Chain A
């Protein structure tokens, strides 16, 4: 069964350092999402791509976070510099289409990258 791949699974870094996370969506999925999940809370959308274009990045802290999906396939999320409050699980998800009325458009999630900033 096709899966969303993410790496690394765990990352420990010191504050002010740069970190990068990688995501490879399910083959053929045009839509890719990055979420941040703080312990005890639900996932919050950071950025949404349709192919290589950003659809929504309104919740992305653009002073330190950046995301790209250059060829419309895999994607990288970067934090520079990392802060203590960035410690969280970073989840990548993909879906085959933007949901149209009555459609499902279910998102498939990867295992996530757990980031700890010291």
Chain B
């Protein structure tokens, strides 16, 4: 059974800092991994999708990497801003279950 873990559970940083969010998964037989952002009480916004054959994806100040063999992904946020404050979730779609399995998220607060 796929298990996804996100560390840290919460993070508070001053504006302008670069930061890294971590995601690990137990079953490396995956189709892809997605990073999402969730604002309080809202739905999920897809940030980056990394296919199993890819090593990284970039969108603006965001960069996500994937090391499938070790079961790890990182989300790098450059020059953080108060508007980046949200919960960040990673999810994997594995070949067995064929549905997204989510981590519990990292709650990020960027202080002005």
**A, B co-complexed:** no
